[in-house]
Amino acid sequence: MSERVNEILSWYAGENPGVLTNLARIMMTGALAGTGRFVILPVDQGFEHGPARSFAPNAAGYDPRYHFQLAIDAGCNAYAAPLGFIEAGAAGYAGRIPTILKLNNHDTLSPDGKDPIPSVTGCVKDALRLGCSAVGYTIYPGSAGFKSMYEDLAEITHEAKANGLAVVVWSYPRGSGLSKEGETAVDISAYAAQIAAQLGANIIKVKPPTAHIEQAEAKKVFEAEKIPTATLADRVRHVVESAFGGRRIVIFSGGAKGADEKIFEECRGIRDGGGFGSIIGRNSFQRKKPDALKFLATVMDIYRGKA
């Protein structure tokens, strides 16, 4: 166990040793083991966006085993997916990589317009029988359905931690309380990180923040306090600080498929702003495997300060 990992674990001293064990497992796995940095492979896009949009660009990814193997071969810290994908590989890959069971999911067929609420599609008992290290859960701060999401998460968090599982929260501002631009505004991203942290999340996933500031009251403070927002590193620094002064693990989503160099640049910004890492789905599994391995190796090099 590296000093950095011990330092990070010290932030979670209020958690039981089971939760710490699973956080440590995630931090001590893969190419970034011991660095306190994270690259996690999430594959919930089949559910969230549909199978062809997710897997046709690299058809090997229709097979659930592909993603377990990719996460292992690339040296990811963990692999996150919904119930079906985890069930389909958990026996065959038992013990080879920490898994995160995503307990709620949403699809693009559902006519829930501007205020979506994902469905709870699994339970903590499933995570235990499948040998997972954590449960994952998505909240949409800004959606009219926030209460349902926060309250379900509160129950899941309580049960997960009582059983020694870590809690990973995808905090994605979205809904009729926000403008489209506001979904990734720096004040909103920071707020989303704070809400997830306050809900007890051990690991928080947000989107890389833009320089937009959504809330008028927030804008006043950003100006008064001269909070820097010019660079991504500035904004990441603010988001990370907003999650308990940097004492919670905050990772950033890799987003839709884009040019590699653009993503690498983003990762550098995350790294330089003190972000803990990336959770990169589509940019990982929507390309041929050798290419994916090379791509992820560069991302990991960036987080190790070598690229």
> 25 to 64, contacts with a second copy by CB under 8 A?
25, 27-28, 44, 46-47, 49-53, 55-57, 59-60, 62-64
Q: Is 161 a catalytic residue?
A: no
Of 92 and 305, nearer to a second copy (C-beta) is 92
Contact range with a second copy by CB under 8 A, out of 122-130, 262-270, 287-295, 298-306 = 122-130
C-beta of 107 vs 301, nearer to a second copy? 107
- Cα-based distances in Å from 28 to 15, 22, 38, 127, 284: 18, 10, 10, 20, 21
Phi-psi region of 288 (alpha: psi -120 to 50; beta: other; left: phi over 0): beta
Residue 80 sits in the site that holds a second copy (CB under 8 A): no
Dihedral sign of CA atoms 276, 38, 49, 154 in order:
negative
Residues near 147 by Cβ (< 8 Å), separated by ≥ 6? none
78 touches a second copy by CB under 8 A: no
Rounded CA-CA distance 256/117 in Å is 21
* Subset of residues 207 to 246 that bind a second copy, contact rule: CB under 8 A: 215, 217-218, 221-222, 224-225, 227, 238, 241-242, 244-246
Question: Which stretch in 82-90, 263-271, 275-283, 293-301 sits in contact with a second copy by CB under 8 A?
Answer: 82-90
**Could you say which of 66, 102, 137, 205 is catalytic?**
205
* Cβ at position 208, least distance to a second copy in Å: 17
CB of 249 to a second copy, least distance (A): 13
Dist. CA 139–CA 104, nearest whole Å: 9
Does the footprint of a second copy cover residue 154 (CB under 8 A)? yes
Site for a second copy in 278-307 (CB under 8 A): none
Give the nearest distance from C-beta 295 to a second copy in angstroms.
20
Contacting residue, 83, 134, 263, 300, with a second copy by CB under 8 A: 83
**What is d(CA 42, CA 259) in angstroms, rounded to the nearest whole number?**
19
Task: List the one residue out of 153, 146, 137, 136 whose CA is nearest residue 116.
Answer: 146
Helix (H, G, I), strand (E, B) or coil at 212: coil
The yes-or-no answer on residue 172 being catalytic is yes
**Is residue 256 a contact point for a second copy (CB under 8 A)?**
no
> Among residues 13, 180, 230, 261, which is the contact residue for a second copy, using CB under 8 A?
13
Q: Which of 253, 307, 261 is nearest to 282 (CA)?
A: 253
Q: What is the CA radius of gyration of the chain?
A: 18
Residues in contact with 249: Cβ distance below 8 Å, sequence separation at least 6, in sequence order: 8, 23, 38, 202, 203, 204, 276
Taking contact as CB under 8 A, which single stretch among the options 34-42, 91-99, 264-272, 291-299 is the one that binds a second copy?
91-99
Q: Which residues are known to be catalytic?
A: 172, 205
